């Protein structure tokens, strides 16, 4: 079956390059849809079942989004598609956490730096799709602050008037700060994040913690999901405050 891919990128040369990266990465037949701006991208997504992708016959499986676009920021599109059943990847020139962290919060499953070599990009893309998203030390630092009880955006999070997605709950007692359980990191996840923020590679972390490297990857995936949950929770709070829900 053909895998549908959407590449949102305003630079035609880069679009072509990313297309080659995608084709190289997967053995399945690929159908690439290209968009040069947000509006075109929205139209294509609308044709394949809309933001929730529920009624679509054949939604995109993979979406690559550039951040700086002629009619806005790629993050806007990500924010519109929290439920869309595709792997969403940010492709950008920005490698600082000030740009990448918000993108992750908006629901990006990973990010690729466009200046990387072709082979590196192929490898990274495969990892992300397999569920091994990268996590840079700077982002790990930001995540630690984000999930610290009482720190970062957690302080504003209310206790659960929003939809629980799935079971990340731990059996630990509820802390004084009333942070919802599903937003907390498990001790293992915190440990992984701490090592990441100190610049250790996944293999190094695995040997330090005495676990398999793919277990480390599972923790990272879980952290990613919690990040999205927390951002979605914030969106829900915002919506209820504005009387939208």
For another protein, the binding residues (CB under 8 A) are 11, 13-14, 16-17, 68, 93-96, 114-115, 117, 119-120, 136-138, 141, 197-199, 201
Q: Which is nearer to another protein, 28 or 68 (CB)?
A: 68
Nearest approach, Cβ of 138 to another protein (angstroms)? Answer: 7
Which residue bears the tokens 């939208």? 244
Helix/strand/coil for 3 = strand
Question: What DSSP string runs through 166-203?
Answer: S----SSPPPTT---GGGSPPHHHHHHHHHHHTT--HH
Q: Which is nearer to another protein, 97 or 183 (CB)?
A: 97
Nearest approach, Cβ of 196 to another protein (angstroms)? Answer: 9
Q: Which is nearer to another protein, 17 or 26 (CB)?
A: 17
Question: What DSSP string runs through 19-32?
Answer: HHHHHHH-SS-EEE
Q: Which is nearer to another protein, 12 or 46 (CB)?
A: 12
Nearest approach, Cβ of 48 to another protein (angstroms)? Answer: 28
- Residue pair 209/191 in contact by the 8 Å Cβ criterion: yes
E strands along 203-242, which residues?
none
- Residue pair 213/203 in contact by the 8 Å Cβ criterion: yes
Nearest approach, Cβ of 120 to another protein (angstroms)? Answer: 5
């Amino acid at each position: 079956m053909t895998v549908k891919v959407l590449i949102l990128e305003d630079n035609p040369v880069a679009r072509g390059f990313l297309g080659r990266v995608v084709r190289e990465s997967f053995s399945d037949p690929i159908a690439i849809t290209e968009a040069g701006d947000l509006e075109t991208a929205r139209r294509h997504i609308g044709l394949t079942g809309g933001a929730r992708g529920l009624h679509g016959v054949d939604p995109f499986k993979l979406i690559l989004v550039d951040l700086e676009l002629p009619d806005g920021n790629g993050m806007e599109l990500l924010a519109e598609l929290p439920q869309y059943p595709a792997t969403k990847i940010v492709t950008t020139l920005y490698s600082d956490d000030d740009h990448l962290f918000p993108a992750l919060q908006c629901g990006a499953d990973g990010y690729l730096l466009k200046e990387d070599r072709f082979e590196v990009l192929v490898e990274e893309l495969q990892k992300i799709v397999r569920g091994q998203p990268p996590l840079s030390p700077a982002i790990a630092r930001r995540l630690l602050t984000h999930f610290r009880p009482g720190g970062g955006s957690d302080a504003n999070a209310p206790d659960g008037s929003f939809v629980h997605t799935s079971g990340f709950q731990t059996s630990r007692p509820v802390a004084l700060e009333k942070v919802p359980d599903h937003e907390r990191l498990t001790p293992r996840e915190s440990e992984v994040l701490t090592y990441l923020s100190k610049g250790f590679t996944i293999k190094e972390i695995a040997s330090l913690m005495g676990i398999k490297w793919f277990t480390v990857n599972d923790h990272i995936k879980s952290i990613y999901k919690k990040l999205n949950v927390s951002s979605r929770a914030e969106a829900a709070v915002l919506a209820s405050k504005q009387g939208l829900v």
